Structure 1
Amino acid sequence: MESGYSERLYNEDLAPAQERNWSTWSLFCTWMADVHSIGGYTFAAGLFFLGLTGWQVFLALICGITVVYFLMNLTSVAGQRYGIPYPVLARVSFGVFGANVPALIRAAVAIAWYGIQTWLASVAVVILALKIFPGLEPLARSSFLGLSYLGWICFLLLWAAQLFVLGRGMESVRRLVDWAGPAIYVAMLALAIWIFIQAGGSIDFNLGSKSLSFGGATLAFFTAIALVVNYFSTLLLNFTDFSRFAPSERMVRWGNFWGLPVNFILFSVIVVVVTAGSREIYGSAITDPVELVGRIPSFVALALGALTFAVATVGINIVANFVSPCYDLANAFPKHIDFKRGGIISAVLALVVMPWKLYSSPIAINYFLGGLGALLGPIFGIIVADYYLLRRGRLDVEGLYREGDDSPYWYRGGLNRRALWAFAIAAFVSLIVALVPALKVAAPFSWFIGAGIGGASYYALMRSAPAPLPEAE
């Protein structure tokens, strides 16, 4: 450990990245792994049922993912420039110990969704297992704690497989996403071709069934844009966990460009072809790709489809929901928790919450996960306002790992109370918007409201401080 660094703030996993071997291709594949999943499929398909016409939805998708692209560059470029993960970047604005607040909030969201995504992937494996081995049917009928015995077996297999990948470090994650992301394209294209043929080449792409007024259509259009941003709100905070391994800012921007606007739009086109085609074939649109794959009469196609969706969902799970809490928990106790131990703790917690029950409860999804999600916007606004508006992108990296007055990010006792006040103000408003039923029309915009209030409040509070801002050395 470097001289003067605090063991309460430093370990090798939190230190600035030394190996920078994540190329544009690796970052592009990381985004493919994030988007090409069961959750990503159902999200994109669901936007076509807001009542908008097909071209309006595509325009909203383009606008939404373009906003995400520019916002994503703000934090990911900052991470690449200094090679630091998300919780260490949060120390700049929240203080070296205060950063545990935004880090643990992000970890809680990630752990919950990690369990849910693992369970969703296991559902695809269950379907595949029953097709290959029909004799397993009795295991699918008996259950324990709300999950069938066969469901437990498949869930634990995927749970252990992800833990194995992460236990081998970030380089192992890179190797996985380098092929997991492209693999789903092969399956999706094959599924789209099969659907197109089965539909006789005639598909109605206008999936919306509502007739909206101009005002209603305008609201639905901007709601779709906001939902796209919300979908990526977790990685808007912690994509620095990946970009820190890129050798240049240019590679980060290009990786984000190919992985976000280009990849997301192409994937959405495939999704709408498959979803609209399923309505032509089965009489109603099927937005669950696992259910659709289960109806394919070819055993080989069904097996490959189910397996590919399962692997792709594992890919997004590691990228979006497993890497972050590993760093976030390590940041809380760096002397005792490293990246691998953080992964073990995250995996155990994701198992304890029984994600199949969490996912099936509207109250849990809307209030617990929805509430936590509403807290991500204020954190993003504070970090970006601090880094770009107050410090102009200049950081004292060594100060991020020191205690006391030697660190410009010590503030008072390691906490920047102005950041915590700004967060509390913005979080209060965004939680009300996200959770109060009377404001459900505005709920999709809670991230933007929280980010705007959080950034503005923090900037005002810091500018009113009697002491000058700590400057980079």
Structure 2
Amino acid sequence: MGRSQVLLKGQQEYSSDLLPTNQEARTWKTGHFFSIWMGSVHNVPSYVTIGGFFALGLSIWQVLLIIIISSILLSAMMVLNGHAGSKHGIPFSILLRTSYGRKGAHFPGVLRGVIAAIMWFGLQTYAGSLAVSILLGKFWPSFLTLGGSFTFLGLTLPTLLSFLLFWAINVLFIFAGMKRLGKLTKIVTPFVFIVFGGMSIWSINLAGGITPILNYQAKGFQGNSFFMLMTCISAIMATWVAQILSVSDVTRFSRSNREQSIGQIAGLLTTYLLFAVASISIIVGSEIAFGVPIWNVLEVVERFDNQFAIILSLLTICLSTLTVNIVGNIIPAGYQLATLFPNRLTFKTGALTATIAGIVIMPWKLMENPTSIFMFLNIVGGMLSPVIGVMLTHYFFICKKEINVEELYSLNGSNQYAYGINIPAMLATILAGFISLLGSFVPKLAPLSSISWFTGILLAVLFYLLLFNSSKLVEFRSLKQN
């Protein structure tokens, strides 16, 4: 996409991808937002998380309550943080400047838009490629034995080819544009309901009907049940922290705030209702039938005895993984890199750079040591949840939903911040993030880390309001003395 001309006096030249979305490009309707996050709900990590809840000893009704509360909370967060995008048409990387300042925005922007996005892109691409391998093996059985014992950086030839193929499909959508992505999400929607609904029916039949599942006896757990529920809700919300932060990257294409609000609320609540039924029936049903719970949906698919059902399921899993990878990882990384290097990169070249980095980090190697991966991601998540608190506090309580868009794009943007950094926002983010993660190293503070999503956001709101108001009071007294 070509570069824009200088629009304002003293304004830096930007790729047109970063400029406020014009009215002609605001084409996303309620239906697009209804389906956009389905891939983020129905994937392997999500089912493993629910399986972990049962492993803790929670009952079916407790797990169901956790999922329902999480979906309501998630819908609210998506709509609230998506308001600025739909109203002002600006991407997340530019929106950050309102609360952090022109230079200060680089810190949370790089954490979310570059590091977390590239890591998740690589991991999701590798996970999707596993489904691709199974799918290709159904049409071409000898594909799975190509190359014999040959390996490249730990990958067999079939796995390497599947990874590169799925990577290439992701890259194609960088150049296809948001309209085609919107169409893809609407195509995937009915198949998600069919496939995961079918898995639920299959699991229920395996278990001998719905009654054995409803009569499932939980192992039980020791401790405060309320705190355990909060911990599990925090775990679900932590997996969404990146998408919540950068949701304006997609809501900026909404025809109105009403459409993104209705679409996201209806879509997330409906999808999570299906997810609740599917995850509980698949995990509990498989445990009743086989004696061992199956948490990996790919293992569920491989147990199907119908070739058509297997192929349809694998295609759906591939497409749902593709949509979440594009929306949750490629788009934020592309915009952030274009913001960091506005004179050198556009959204497309930035996104392409991020996808190449997703290969370089060799995600299949990282997955060989899951402890270090998830420790890293937990640290990034613990630092990102306070950013949500700061962004929402600044936009709704300090800005009152009004943004000077021209100032955001000016060379001297966010002039109210010394040196282009909003110190209260930075301090609030660092302090809240530090405290929310401190429990990982200080046993007595472990409860704070176990609900790090809540800890990070709530402390960030409190710290930011205190620090921001204190700084304004100091400025007022200084001006009064002068």
TM-score bucket of the superposed structures, by smaller chain: over 0.9
* Letter aligned with residue 275 of structure 1: I
* Residue 130 of structure 1: aligned partner: 137
* Residue 294 of structure 1: aligned partner: 302
Pairing of 1:417-456 with structure 2 (within 5 A): 417-434=423-440, 439-456=445-462
| Deviation for aligned residue 1:113 | 0.8
| Deviation for aligned residue 1:87 | 1.2
* Residue 415 of structure 1: aligned partner: 421
Residue 47 (structure 1) aligned with residue 60 (structure 2)? no
Which whole-Å CA distance do the structure 2 matches of 1:391 and 1:329 have between them? 26
| Deviation for aligned residue 1:421 | 2.1
* Residue 71 of structure 2: aligned partner: 65
| Deviation for aligned residue 1:205 | 4.2
| Deviation for aligned residue 1:44 | 3.6
* Residue 12 of structure 1: aligned partner: 16
Distance 1:13 1:410, change over 3 A: farther
Pairing of 1:51-130 with structure 2 (within 5 A): 51-107=57-113, 108-130=115-137
Residue 332 (structure 1) aligned with residue 327 (structure 2)? no
Which whole-Å CA distance do the structure 2 matches of 1:394 and 1:21 have between them? 23
Contact 2:29 2:254 in 1 (8 A): yes
* Residue 178 of structure 1: aligned partner: 186
* Residue 479 of structure 2: aligned partner: none
Contact 1:125 1:306 in 2 (8 A): yes
Which whole-Å CA distance do the structure 1 matches of 2:215 and 2:111 have between them? 39
Structure 1: segments with no counterpart, 5+ residues: 469-473
Return 411-420 or 142-151, whichever deviates more.
411-420
Pairing of 1:256-295 with structure 2 (within 5 A): 256-295=264-303
> 3-state SS of the aligned residue for 2:402?
coil
> 3-state SS of the aligned residue for 1:52?
coil
Which whole-Å CA distance do the structure 2 matches of 1:151 and 1:100 have between them? 36
| Deviation for aligned residue 1:210 | 2.6
Pairing of 1:368-379 with structure 2 (within 5 A): 368-379=376-387
* Residue 366 of structure 2: aligned partner: 358
> 3-state SS of the aligned residue for 2:37?
helix
Distance 1:378 1:367, change over 3 A: same
| Deviation for aligned residue 1:443 | 2.6
Distance 1:437 1:158, change over 3 A: farther
| Deviation for aligned residue 1:273 | 1.5
> 3-state SS of the aligned residue for 1:394?
coil
Which whole-Å CA distance do the structure 1 matches of 2:303 and 2:75 have between them? 36
Residue 211 (structure 1) aligned with residue 216 (structure 2)? no
Which whole-Å CA distance do the structure 2 matches of 1:158 and 1:147 have between them? 15
Distance 1:260 1:362, change over 3 A: same
Residues 413-437 of structure 1: CA distance to partner in whole angstroms, max 9, x if unpaired? 3222232222222222123235656
Which whole-Å CA distance do the structure 1 matches of 2:218 and 2:444 have between them? 25
Distance 1:216 1:324, change over 3 A: same
Distance 1:249 1:151, change over 3 A: same
Contact 2:200 2:277 in 1 (8 A): no
Contact 2:207 2:213 in 1 (8 A): no
Distance 1:206 1:411, change over 3 A: farther
Distance 1:410 1:303, change over 3 A: same
Which whole-Å CA distance do the structure 2 matches of 1:130 and 1:315 have between them? 23
Contact 1:230 1:444 in 2 (8 A): no
> 3-state SS of the aligned residue for 2:18?
coil
Residue 308 (structure 1) aligned with residue 313 (structure 2)? no
* Letter aligned with residue 294 of structure 2: I
* Letter aligned with residue 94 of structure 1: Y
Contact 1:65 1:264 in 2 (8 A): yes
* Letter aligned with residue 128 of structure 2: A
Consecutive aligned runs of 4 or more in structure 1 exceeding 6 Å deviation: none
Which whole-Å CA distance do the structure 1 matches of 2:132 and 2:214 have between them? 30
Structure 2: segments with no counterpart, 5+ residues: 477-482
Match of 2:171 among 163, 167, 170: 163
Residues 19-53 of structure 1: CA distance to partner in whole angstroms, max 9, x if unpaired? 21111110011022322223333334433333111
Contact 1:371 1:435 in 2 (8 A): no
* Residue 23 of structure 1: aligned partner: 29
Residues 141-200 of structure 1: CA distance to partner in whole angstroms, max 9, x if unpaired? 532212211111001101010110122222222122121233222111222223333433
| Deviation for aligned residue 1:450 | 1.6
| Deviation for aligned residue 1:262 | 2.6
Q: CA RMSD in A?
A: 2.1
* Residue 471 of structure 1: aligned partner: none
Contact 2:449 2:455 in 1 (8 A): no
| Deviation for aligned residue 1:86 | 0.9
Q: Report how many residues are paired.
A: 464
Which whole-Å CA distance do the structure 1 matches of 2:89 and 2:40 have between them? 22
* Residue 355 of structure 2: aligned partner: 347
Contact 2:59 2:220 in 1 (8 A): no
* Letter aligned with residue 400 of structure 1: L
Distance 1:310 1:460, change over 3 A: same
Residues 97-122 of structure 1: CA distance to partner in whole angstroms, max 9, x if unpaired? 22111111002111101110111111
> 3-state SS of the aligned residue for 1:278?
helix
> 3-state SS of the aligned residue for 2:195?
helix
Return 93-102 or 32-41, whichever deviates more.
32-41
* Letter aligned with residue 298 of structure 1: N
Which whole-Å CA distance do the structure 1 matches of 2:332 and 2:217 have between them? 36
Distance 1:132 1:408, change over 3 A: closer
Distance 1:440 1:128, change over 3 A: farther
Which whole-Å CA distance do the structure 2 matches of 1:88 and 1:193 have between them? 46
Distance 1:450 1:102, change over 3 A: same
Which whole-Å CA distance do the structure 1 matches of 2:116 and 2:129 have between them? 20
Residue 145 (structure 1) aligned with residue 153 (structure 2)? yes
* Letter aligned with residue 351 of structure 1: I
Which whole-Å CA distance do the structure 1 matches of 2:440 and 2:335 have between them? 27
> 3-state SS of the aligned residue for 1:21?
coil
Return 281-290 or 452-461, whichever deviates more.
452-461
* Letter aligned with residue 12 of structure 2: E
Contact 1:326 1:346 in 2 (8 A): yes
Give the fraction of aligned pairs with identical amino acids, expressed as a percent: 32
Residue 235 (structure 1) aligned with residue 243 (structure 2)? yes
Which whole-Å CA distance do the structure 1 matches of 2:217 and 2:443 have between them? 24
| Deviation for aligned residue 1:460 | 1.8
| Deviation for aligned residue 1:355 | 0.8
